[in-house]
Amino acid sequence: MDTIAKYFNAERTESIVFVLVGLTAAVFASYFLLKIKQPFYNGISYALLAIALIQITVGISIFVRSPKDIERVNQILNADKSRIEIEEIPRMNTVMKNFAIYKWIEISLIAIGLVLFFIIQPKSIWKGVGLGLFIQSSFMLLLDFFAESRGRDYLEYLRSLI
């Protein structure tokens, strides 16, 4: 399998994981809201649902877009390799810069979650929000770590083409 297809297919596979993590969080959140109905669990639910919506949306968009990306980059290579330097490398540089931003946001949410969890009184809604933020942001950070690593390798490959 060529490097381009390998990169975008790995992105597509991880997008399924993003959706599954988001759906799992949404199921837990729904259970907490509908069955347990306690402030602490409601707080967990709010954080789980907020980030789950992001995970599901991002996951679906990457899943749908990846086959088109494979085709787009292969067309660039077949038509005019020099366009890699003009189109795909700048796009990937932006993607890599965005990963740095996402990482800081996720680390900040983890920190906020930990602070809320450890300083707020037991069984309060905000303590639950803290735990939910910690859980979901940790998953996001972990998944983005792998995506960033793949992106770095793909960008090196693109640079080797010029």
- Domain range list for the chain: 3-160
What integer is the mean pLDDT of 73-84?
91
User: Which pLDDT belongs to residue 96?
Assistant: 97
Query: Which tens digit of pLDDT belongs to each residue from 14-56?
Result: 999 999 999 999 999 999 999 999 999 999 999 999 999 999 9
State the CB neighbour count (10 A cutoff) for residue 97. 10
pTM of the model: 0.90
> Residue 128 in contact with residue 42, Cβ under 8 Å?
yes
Closest CA to 126 of 16, 45, 55, 67: 45
Residue 131 has pLDDT above 90, yes or no: yes
Condensed to tens digits (0 to 9), the pLDDT of residues 94-118 reads 999 999 999 999 999 999 999 999 9
Both tokens assigned to 143: 């998944």
Residue 1 predicted with pLDDT over 80: no
For 93, the 3-state DSSP assignment is helix
